[in-house]
């Protein structure tokens, strides 16, 4: 399946020797013309050299593209890791004829391992010419334990928005997401793009969790080169959020070992912050996640997850309403107990499980995304480096 390609973006993908033979582990996308851009990064105290370099770049200029190495995070690698990342970025920039600061850089995979620089240098020597953006090829090249490439697109007037993402584990973003990059030929002013993207990131990437663990390498960015002309801000924001929401659902449903996507909507909250706190408490609960995996209609676990939000002192159990999709389970259902159990069980057997909570306090709402917890998640992460 091919995705529409915004005008003026080219890509490179190749195998450098980080991943198994036959899989691309290097990718790069660059705009042929200057861009406005917005980038957000992990807040991890162990953020890697690629994050450090990229933060410096966005202080100097508005980047025109991104390069990614997969299967090695280059995190906790000290001064040598920073030198190696700088060398790779500078080498690639020379090859394509741009300044290093015009590229942000990301790396994903095992922590604490230096790049095999001799192998990488040899691979970059044959980088060659880029091709018009092939989003699926780039999405495949940034995968680690993902089982499928993650790509979404939307049209806005005469412009196109294409987004890619990777990530299935070590995921609860903090101001960014796993890795996600969006490319558009819409003309969007820098300040407008920055405001819109950060709002969208908050509603999408910062509202997904696989396992409560924030990656050391999280980076999300959008590049707008203006080749297709301007579009209305509201239409652009809506399309961008749709793209990012698609990617978030793909990430959550492809969580390591996952079999189900969980979408939790908390309404009636005193603030969006409160709604998100409660929503995250539900989707991050191992007991809720295993209940859903086992298709066991033990809805009391959702009440437990709400109840442990003890800092939210205005939450009162008597006001709360809980439903699976449109099936009321608390405080009571219109069905008798046996029928409710069976109807909930049927919903839990579907690929997407919806949990809806009304706190009965205010008017604010937030939606969060997650997945079930399976024995396969344990197996994947128990054997990750061996």
Strand partners, 357: 266, 322
DSSP state, 265? E
For residue 280, give the H/E element and its range.
Answer: helix 272-284
Contacts of 109 (CB under 8 A, 6+ apart): 18, 69, 70, 71, 72, 73, 144
The alpha-carbon radius of gyration of the chain (Å, integer) is: 22
Cα of 93 vs its chain's centroid, Å: 26
- 317, 304 in Cβ contact below 8 A? no
Quickly tell me which residue has 């990301």 as its tokens. Answer: 106
Q: Is 177 a catalytic residue?
A: yes
Q: Considering the candidates 36, 177, 214, 245, report the single residue annotated as catalytic.
A: 177
Q: How far apart are CA 126 and CA 148, in angstroms?
A: 27
Asked if residue 133 lies in contact with residue 9, where contact means CB atoms within 8 angstroms, the answer is yes
Residue of 189, 178, 175, 197 whose CA lies nearest to 254: 178
- Tokens describing residue 93: 């920039």
CA–CA separation, 375 vs 379, rounded Å? 6
Q: Which helix (H) or strand (E) holds 304?
A: helix 300-307
Using CA atoms, how far residue 236 sits from 12, 179, 193, 240, in Å, is 27, 21, 9, 6
DSSP state for residue 214 in the 8-state scheme: P
Catalytic residues: 177
């Amino acid at each position: 399946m091919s995705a529409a390609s915004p005008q003026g973006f080219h890509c490179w993908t190749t195998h450098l020797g980080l991943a198994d033979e036959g899989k691309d582990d290097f990718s790069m996308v660059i705009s042929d013309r200057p861009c406005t851009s917005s980038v957000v990064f992990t807040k991890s105290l162990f953020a890697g050299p690629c994050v450090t370099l990229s933060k410096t770049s966005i202080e100097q200029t508005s980047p025109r593209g991104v390069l990614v190495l997969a299967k090695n995070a280059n995190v906790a690698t000290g001064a040598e890791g920073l030198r190696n990342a700088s060398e790779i970025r500078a080498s690639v920039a020379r090859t394509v004829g741009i300044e290093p600061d015009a590229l942000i850089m990301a790396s994903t995979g095992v922590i604490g391992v230096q790049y095999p620089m001799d192998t990488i240098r040899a691979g970059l020597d044959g980088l060659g010419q880029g091709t018009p953006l092939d989003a699926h090829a780039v999405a495949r090249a940034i995968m680690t334990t993902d089982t499928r490439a993650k790509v979404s697109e939307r049209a806005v007037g005469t412009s196109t928005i294409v987004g890619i993402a990777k990530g299935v584990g070590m995921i609860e973003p903090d101001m960014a997401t796993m890795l996600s990059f969006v490319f558009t030929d819409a003309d969007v002013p820098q300040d407008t793009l920055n405001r819109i993207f950060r709002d969208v990131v908050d509603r999408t990437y910062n509202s997904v969790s696989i396992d409560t663990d924030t990656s050391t390498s999280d980076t999300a960015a959008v590049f707008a080169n203006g080749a297709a002309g301007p579009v209305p801000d509201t239409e652009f924001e809506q399309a961008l959020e749709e793209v990012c929401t698609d990617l978030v659902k793909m990430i959550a449903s492809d969580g390591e070992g996952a079999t189900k996507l969980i979408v939790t909507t908390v309404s009636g909250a005193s603030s969006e912050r409160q709604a998100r706190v409660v929503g995250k408490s539900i989707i991050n609960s191992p007991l809720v996640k295993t209940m859903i995996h086992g298709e066991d209609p033990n809805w009391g676990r959702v009440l437990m997850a709400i109840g442990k939000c003890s800092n939210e002192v205005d939450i009162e159990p008597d006001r709360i309403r809980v439903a699976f999709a449109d099936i009321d389970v608390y405080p009571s259902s219109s069905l008798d107990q046996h029928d409710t159990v069976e109807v909930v069980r049927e919903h839990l057997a579907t690929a997407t499980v919806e949990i809806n909570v009304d706190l009965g306090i205010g008017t604010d709402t937030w939606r969060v995304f997650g997945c079930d917890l399976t024995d396969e998640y344990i197996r994947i992460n128990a054997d990750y480096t061996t």
